[in-house]
Amino acid sequence: MNESNTQFENRKRDHIRIALDPRSQTEGQTGLDSIELIHEALPDLNFKEVDISTSFSFSKGNSSQALSLSSPIFISSMTAGHEHGREINMALARLSDRRQILMGVGSQRRELNDTNAAEEWTQVRKVAPKARLLGNIGIAQLIKTPLDGIRRLVDATEAVALFVHVNPLQEVLQPEGTTDFKNSLQAIENLVKFAEVPVIVKEVGCGFSVSTLKRLEGTGIAAVDVAGKGGTHWGRVEGYRSEKSEMLYQVAQTYANWGISTVESLLNAEEARVSYEVWASGGVRTGLDVAKLCALGAKKVGIAKPFLEAALPGSQDADLALENLLNRLETELKIALFCTGSKTLADLATKKVIR
């Protein structure tokens, strides 16, 4: 279904509003409450030595590259393509620029048919030239779009990598959804061969099974963000866009808890023994959550809702609110390392610190 610009903007505004509604959250379903880090009463460390810096390493052609990052925390993809989205993305991009963390942009679907939509990123780059942006396109659009069109999305954002989001539940419950997912794997393989940046496949809150993770092995992707159940549930979001009397609203209630949790998705990746990096997101709210996921094997950990709340246009100073949020998250993460006797993220991932 082709949307007008007005319809697209209205949908994105709906997404922001409803995503912040507590009813759209699958709180308590991440699986993180079942994970406990083992306290080390005598860490042989100076807290000041704890190092949460990391990198995003990937191969391209015959060479290997590494992008230095201040922490494994990244801003998960949220919104793009409308007025409030631009303000939000500018604030988030400034944070990425200042602190050198990765930032996923919202879906660039609109830019495929509206060349003016890419102007948003020109404005963003003026205020955040060093932001480490991750482009974003849905698998349903990737299947139908010539690869030259996808390259334009990467060029528009000056992205360091490209997310391909897979979201069958969201699309099937969205009135404007695109539900043809045939040839998805082939489309990903073709993109990897064509793209000049790493490709990362991500869910949007329903997680990954062992078999799906295995199917992605050998495609050449750089990473998978398992994006499991436990935070914003996009099946619920789309359902709440419909009236209670409408069928899609009622069907969405049936699928309100559909998906594989964030923790279970990470454990699935361990069982699948994949060679690409595994990232995690979905219901992450604290630096302790980040530490638990890193201990379970996640190389990067995405956070969305807390960043969105801090960046919303309003009376608050978004830059200050975002700085304070990231400072808190990174401090919580460092404390988790210190109190498990881990000097680095590698220590956290390889030492026996999980009960």
pTM value is: 0.93
Number of other residues whose CB lies within 10 A of the CB of residue 94: 20
Mean pLDDT along residues 252-281: 97
- 3-state SS of 125-170 is HHHCCCCEEEEEEEHHHHHHCCHHHHHHHHHHHCCCEEEEECCHHH
The pLDDT tens digits of the residues spanning 163-179 come to 999 999 999 999 889 99
CB atoms within 10 A of CB 266: 27
Q: What is the pLDDT of residues 49-106, one digit of tens each?
A: 999 999 998 776 666 788 999 999 999 998 655 557 788 999 999 999 999 999 999 9
User: Which pLDDT does position 354 carry in this prediction?
Assistant: 87
Q: How is residue 117 written in tokens?
A: 């939509």
Q: What is the pLDDT of residue 83?
A: 58
* Integer Cα distance of 109 and 49 in angstroms: 43
CA-CA-CA-CA dihedral for 160, 161, 162, 163, to nearest 10: -120
Q: Which fold has domain 5-19+29-350?
A: TIM Barrel (3.20.20)
Cα distance between the two ends of the chain: 48
Q: How confident is the model at residue 142 (pLDDT cuts 50, 70, 90)?
A: very high
Kindly report which listed range (66-75, 110-119, 124-133, 230-239) carries the lowest average pLDDT score. Answer: 110-119
Q: How far apart are CA 304 and CA 312, in angstroms?
A: 12
> Is the pLDDT at 297 greater than 50, yes or no?
yes
Domain ranges (residues) in the chain: 5-19+29-350
Whether the pLDDT of residue 223 is over 90: the answer is yes
Upper half-sphere CA count for residue 208 (Cβ side, 13 Å): 30
Is pLDDT of 3 > 60? no
